[in-house]
Amino acid sequence: MGDGEMAAQALLPPTQFGVASYWETADPALMFDTIQNGSLESGMPGFGEGQNSNPLSETQIWDVIAALTELPSLNQPIPTAAVQGQVTNQTTGEVVTEGTVFLQAFTADFEEGLRLEQPLTADGRFNFALQDVPPQWVYRVIIRTADGLEFGSEFGQLSPNQPTLELALGTYAPTQDAAVLAIAQLDVFVEFSPAAVSVSELYLLDNRSNAVFVGETGDFTEGTVQINVPEGAQNVSFWRGLGTSAADFVPADEQMRPLSATTWAFARPVSAGEAVLQLVVRYDLPYNRQATISHPAPYPIGQANLFVPQGAVAVDGTAGEWQPTTSLVPNFEQYQRPSLLAGQSLAISLSGHPAWVTDSDGNLLPNRDAQQELWLGLGALGLALGAAVYTVYHWRTSPPPLHPRDALLQALAALDAAHEQHPLPKRAHEQQRQTLKRELLAVWED
């Protein structure tokens, strides 16, 4: 509380770390600097190397900062609080007066701490009155509209100083018009194994309307966005990108519905906006000195990139559409082709004997993990996409402290960074990643 014995000697009142409001603007780097070097103007001594006869190491300083975040006074429950707001239809600008609103609270460990529901009032408002809630929880509201669609708000926090949280919640009108969909970018990654070529196609999808696309039948469970694979594709699997900064993809097979042997459909509504969906489809094709990756573009494709392992094989675009370009991804050659219209075929002919292959254990590539490289590659690429700008902008404008999504994405990135510096046993690393990803999925907004 900044009221210890030495406080009287300071020129300014020492900072109070035991009040929650401090943490709303706390800057760990500045804290580190102040503890290390002290502050002459305010009369705080330095505790770092060269500043003190019994200095703290850098690790010890970080430990001190971590300990400050757990002061008991910070855990006092907030006696009375409220989460409230009004729901507007972003398509029409009108206030929404029908629907059920759910309040969800997550604990610091990303467990669901609370779930309440109430109907919208006649003036389109919701107001959840809360008592004795822990201060570290994060909240969001979700509305289920009369047409069965769900929309979520950003996350927010309560504090003893600000016990009322206003959360904006918007809905969108549904549209059944598939012409609102466009593929801003398609990235095709190719890998070889002894008798097959594995293809990963990353679709970055825009919904260029101000309405949520619910599929052409109007029932999103029957399918919204369609994805095509070549005839004879085997081991088809789907993944969804969760933001670009941590470059992470989670299995999405359960969100896909087969429509035919070569067409699948995403069985979720697609919200309005740019880069609203990142879908990866992976499949294998037999490869014996040659293979053709060919299927129609389901929607217009703005830009298409192809990534082939360096020195592996020759790429013959029909009529030379695929042009080599400077590669954004290490160890891959990159090709580009002009935009495609919906229905136009994506034709990639690969030929030749791959310079190297990956067997199922990765034996032919000591010290290299092709799968991991692929995800790293996808991630590096994701960063280069406009999606990165969009996502980062979006996160910047949402409240900075402890957004569970961001915190989890950061945790994933930190885990990978730590693994790079001091490799954890592969199994342990993977296990920790899976746990984080499960938690991430639980809080990811659709």
State CA 421 to chain mean position distance.
23
Binding test (CB under 6 A) with ligand HEM, winner from 1, 3, 12, 80? 12
Q: How far is it, in rounded angstroms, from Cα 240 to Cα 387? A: 14
**Smallest distance, ligand HEM to C-beta of residue 133, A:** 26
Which listed residue (18, 51, 55, 64) binds ligand HEM by CB under 6 A?
64
Closest to 332 measured CA to CA, from 370, 363, 295, 303: 370
Nearer to ligand HEM, 15 or 91 (CB): 15
Nearest residue (CB) to ligand HEM, 64 versus 108: 64
Considering the complex, what minimum distance in angstroms separates the CB of residue 33 from ligand HEM?
8
Is there a contact between 202 and 293 (Cβ–Cβ < 8 Å)? Answer: no
Question: Do the beta carbons of residue 320 and residue 347 sit within 8 Å?
Answer: no
Using the minimum distance from each CB to ligand HEM, give the nearer residue, 34 or 136.
34
Neighbours of 98 (CB within 10 A): 12
Q: Which of 16, 21, 42, 92 binds ligand HEM (CB under 6 A)?
A: 42
Q: Are 249 and 378 in contact (CB under 8 A)?
A: yes
Q: Which stretch binds ligand HEM (CB under 6 A): 3-11, 272-280, 298-306, 424-432?
A: 3-11
Q: How many CB atoms lie within 10 A of CB 335?
A: 20
Identify the residue whose tokens are 């919200």: 271
Q: Is 365 in the site for ligand HEM (CB under 6 A)?
A: no
Q: Select from 35, 34, 40, 38 the least CA-distant residue to 11.
A: 40
Instruction: Select the span of 27-35, 224-232, 279-287, 348-356 touching ligand HEM (CB under 6 A).
Output: 27-35
> What is the distance between the alpha carbons of residues 38 and 49, in angstroms, rounded to a whole number?
11
Total chain residues near ligand HEM (CB under 6 A): 18
Residue 331 binding ligand HEM, by CB under 6 A: no
Q: Which residue has the tokens 């880069």?
A: 275
Judged by beta carbon, residue 54 or residue 363, the one nearer ligand HEM is 54
Task: Please report whether residue 37 would count as binding ligand HEM according to CB under 6 A.
Answer: no
Pick out residues in 163-202 that bind ligand HEM (CB under 6 A). none
* Closest CB to ligand HEM among residues 33, 216: 33
The binder of ligand HEM chosen from 18, 43, 273, 362 (CB under 6 A) = 43
Among 30, 168, 195, 355, binds ligand HEM (CB under 6 A): 30
> Of the candidates 217, 258, 266, 216, which has an alpha carbon nearest to the alpha carbon of residue 241?
266
Best CA proximity match to 169, nearest among 189, 149, 183: 149
Helices 370-384 and 386-397, packing angle to 10 deg: 70
- 19 scored as a contact of ligand HEM (CB under 6 A): no
Least distance (Å) between residue 211 CB and ligand HEM:
45
> Can you tell me which residue has the tokens 């299927």?
295
Q: Which residue ranges make up the site for ligand HEM (CB under 6 A)?
A: 6-7, 9-10, 12, 14-15, 26, 30-31, 34-35, 39, 42-45, 64
